[in-house]
Structure formats: C-alpha cells, structure tokens
Amino acid sequence: MCGIAGILSKDIDLRNKREMIYNISSSLKMRGPDAAGEYLNNSLSQSVALIHRRLAVIDVENGAQPMRFGDYIIVYNGELYNTDEIKEELKSAGYSFYTTCDTEVVLKAFHKWREKSAEKFNGIFAYAVYNEKTGELFLCRDRIGVKPLYYSYVNNTLAFASRIESLLYVDGVNPICSREGLNEIFMLGPAKTIGKTVFRDIRELPPAEYMYFRNGKISIKPYWKLKAEPFSNNAYEAIEKTHFLVTDAIKRQLVSDVPLCTFLSGGLDSSIISRVASEEFRSRGETLSTYSVDYDDNDKYFKSSLFQPNKDSDFISLISDYIGSEHRNIVLNNRAVADALVDAAIARNCPGFTDVDSSLLLFCREVKKDYTVCLSGECADEIFGGYPWYHRKEILFEETFPWSRSTDVRRSILKDGFLPEGEEYAHSAYLETVKKADYLETDSALEKRMREMFVLNMDWFMQTLLVRKDVMSMESSLEVRVPFCDWRIVEYAYNMPWSIKAYEGREKGILRKAFENELPEEITWRKKSPYPKTFNPQYFDAVCSMTEKALGDKECVLSEIIDKKAVSTLMNNPDSLSEPWYGQLMRAPQVLAYIFQIYVWMKKYNVEFTY
C-alpha cells in the first residue's frame, strides 16, 4: 500500500513550488515510509506533479513509482488479487513485464483497455494515470471503496491525494467548513455522505467510479454498481458458493513478499479468515501469527448488553488453539487510548470514531513492530446481515438510518437554534441512499427492504469502518486487507434471498453454515459481538477532563456551538443517554470523545466556518 498525490495547474508553475510538493509528500509519509518518488512536467500549457510514497509489499526491489510506460505515468495505491490472470491476458496481447508488482499490470491494462480496465480488477486500489502526450488525467477507485481518494478543483488547479490533509497544502485550497460540513459532522458523523468531506473545497471520488480531467473539465462516471438479478441457487448450493467465494478471496489476499498476520477477535468473521490462512501457512510449513486487542482491567468492568453479550477474551484462546496460531493479545492502557484521540482525529483529518479509532491506531502500531500486512474481518456483517437492526422487526422498516434512528441525542448537545435544518439534512441523505437500491419486480416487501438495508449499510456503516481501518492502519504503516469486501461476494450476497442469507433464522446464518465444519461449534454459532471497547471508568474520567478543557477554550468556536449544560449533565449521568449516538459503540464516553475530537480538528487545521 502507498500514498499518492498529484497536481495539474494552468496557473501554478510547480517547478517553483518545491516546498508545497515536499509538504504534500511528507503528509503521506506514514502511508509510504519505504520510498518516495516524484514526476514533474511543464508542457501542454499546464504544470504537472505526481507524488508517490511507497509501503513495499510486492516486488520490493523493482516496484518504484511513479512508473512509466510509453506516454503513460502512474501513481498507484493498492493491491490486485487477480494480477496473474490479467498479466496472462496482457501477455497474450503482446505485452512484456519487467517486475512482479501489480503496478505494472494496472498501468499496462490501462494502456490496453483504458477505463474498461477497472472492470477487470479484483482488488483494493486508488490510482492516477497521466497521459504525457494529451495532458489528460485518469483517476480510479476500487468498487467497494477500501482505498481512499480525494480531490479538489480550485483556481484552475486540480489536485488529488490519498489524504484530505495533503490537499490543504495546495495553494488556494482552504480549510473552510460550510453548513453542509457541519451537518455532516453533527447530524451524520462519524459517517459521511459518499463523495463529500467536511471541507468545502475537497471532495471524494466515490467507490466504483473513475474520473477524467481533460482541458480543465472534470468528468466522473461509475464503472460498477449493484444490480438486482434472479438468484438461481438453492440453499445447499448457496452454502457451497459462499464457502468457495470467501475461501478464494482469503487465499488470494495471502500473497505478500513481506510478513503477514491476521487479526483474531474470537468472532465468526476473523475466525474464518484465520482458519483459512492457518491452513495455507501449514501447507508451506509455516505458523500463522494472530493478534487481538483488549484493555487494562476490562474483565473487571465488562457489562453484558444486547449489542455486546459476551467478552471476546472468552473465545480467542479457543479458536487460536484450534487453528494452531501463534497468538498475541495486545492490552491497551486506558489513558493511552484517551490520549490517542488526538492522533486519531489528525490521522482521519476530521472528527472520527473516537476510541474505536484510537484503540485501533495503538493496536496497529504494536502489530507493525513485527508485521507489514494483515487480514481483517470487516464488512461481513453489512454483507451477510449480521447487525441486530436486520433482525428487529420493530425497526426494520423505519424510514431512517437504523444505527442512528433519530437525531435527538445529537440535537441535545447543540445550542438552541443551531443547524435547524439538521434533521431534514439527515433524512434527505437517507432517502437519497435508498433510491439507489435496485429491485426485481418479483421482490416481496421484505426482499425490497433487505436490498435497501444492504445499500444503506454498504454506503454508510461499512464505509465508516473501511475509512477507520485504512486510516488507522496506514497511519501505522500497516497494510490491512479485508477479504469480505471482494466484489464477487458483495454481488452474490446482494441477490441472495433473505430466507437463505439468514439461514436457520440467524444473523449471518449462511456464513455460519458454510464454515460450521471448519470451526469449533462455540465459535460458529456465537452471537455477534462488536469491536471491543473499554469499559474502564479511567477512560470516561479522562475524556470528561479533556472535553471540559476543550469547551473552556474561549478562543475556539466550539463553545458557541455546544450546549455546555447538556454536556455537563452527560458527564454527571452517563446513563441518561437514551440511545447510542452511532451504531452499537458510541455511548456517553464516546459522545464526549467525539466533541473533543471536533475540538482537535478545529485547532489543528485552523478551520474557518461559513455558517
């Protein structure tokens, strides 16, 4: 994995902007600490710079970027999992290869098939190809949106980058947050609308879309989207197909020229990945290493709930012993988790998933001491119906985001009259997403709703988790792969009838049934438990103190937005929170931490507001 950036400008001579280019490259260093490369060109009435920072994983010796082939120059971030198949097709068409890295395959595939090449790729990627002859730029992002890509177009200057912060170094791109950005933060965050960021001048290239920049004009088009198709398999065939697709995705993603491990929580998804990986390692005479995360004294303070019925620690040793992995449990200090809220917000370049982010950041830093690549179990819940809101009939058909069913909690911390349009903004975002769901005429009301839920979860909840995993891992220079995001699995699951997907009435029933003979029964049929969070009161005390200081900063506009009395009530009575802020994990401690992260973001980037 890597960090990429680039600038095309008619008004700026980039040869005179060495400091700006250096700052952009430096902002990507953690994404690519192993090597740096640049391409500078001043012709065709425009100045061009392409910037690359490399985290070497495949063909460490020969994969330097920017890479050239003929008139084309590429900067690429990602991994292809069908490199060999595409390479063979290109060889048959007369192409030769001088490296074993997928960058060369992507570049020559674009040379052969232009934008149609993206349809051939199975992987996670964001890349740019510049045509030195015509001056046009092509940008592309993977189908599911695992790898990030942001852009801005201000004052005849187009810029793109793997990080939002990188674009703030570009002349003319300012850290301005409009009302739209504030609504994203307070009414939808830590999620965000696809294509938007919290900054007015910076946009996101959506997943499964590509951009051409020609003669000062931007053209963006999709190359893939979910389509409703008749499902021709019976339950037995679906079990077999699910097993094949998941196993194949995992095996494809085990390819690496540097050390690789897996995250293992003791839940179904990470256990499936670790089981398949351990068998592959054993066939090579190697032992898989697995990692889990916990917190100081968490057993002492754990409280069972509907969303988190049991502790992961009760199951991790069971599955680790079963697959024969060399396991290490990383135990985090609660004060350190609170302190890392600062680094996590800056890494994300906006307010984020609070301690769900900061703990992952600390966890990844520990894993990186021994490994460069890791496989993780994200996104099975969104794809196979694992969350409680898929199964609770009383909320399934509500016209709202099921993980954030109202804005009451959000409204309660804001001063009266602030963002009066907030509720309408959030509901409109919901409605626009539901419109994207594709149906069959034969779909029942339940099947239609399950397609809508699939799209809602993929475009919102899943994107939040993917941004989290990419940002926190890459901030640690650790590449994390997510096999359940294989687009073949996503397409197959979208068209799977709910009666089969929820096999035997269970969340992720089809996935459980597909792997029941390869895992301990206690793991296969364990009730879902989310990413582990801290229950230690030390963390709550720490975020209370940090939030109090943030709201006491009279030079920060945050104090003009937040209702201090409401926040004080929350600090004194955390159980008064009527429902989670977001999903299963953001309750009172996390709401306070979110307010603090907003403060960190405002101060770090000297954010200007236009509300």
* Enzyme catalytic residues: 2
Residue with tokens 């890509």: 149
- Residue 211 in contact with residue 149, Cβ under 8 Å? no
Task: Say which amino acid occupies 530.
Answer: P
Pinpoint the alpha helices (H) of 333-385. Answer: 334-348, 354-368, 380-384
Q: How far apart are CA 280 and CA 525, in angstroms?
A: 24
- Alpha-carbon gap, residue 407 to 354, rounded angstroms: 19
- Alpha carbon separation from 588 to 12, 307, 338, 342, 387 (Å, rounded): 48, 15, 14, 18, 21
The enclosing H or E element of 591 equals helix 588-604
Geometric angle at alpha carbon 153, from 345 and 424, rounded to 5°? 60
Q: Are strands 46-54 and 67-69 parallel, antiparallel or unpaired?
A: unpaired
State both tokens at 132.
């030195």
Could you count the other beta carbons within 10 Å of the beta carbon of residue 65?
A: 27
Task: Give the residue carrying structure tokens 């939040």.
Answer: 464
Which amino acid is located at 370 in the chain? D
* Structure tokens given for 450: 């399950």
Distances (CA, A) of 527 to 312, 465, 510: 11, 20, 14
Candidates 519, 473, 502; CA nearest to 378 is: 473
**β-bridge mates for residue 158, sequence order:** 8, 153
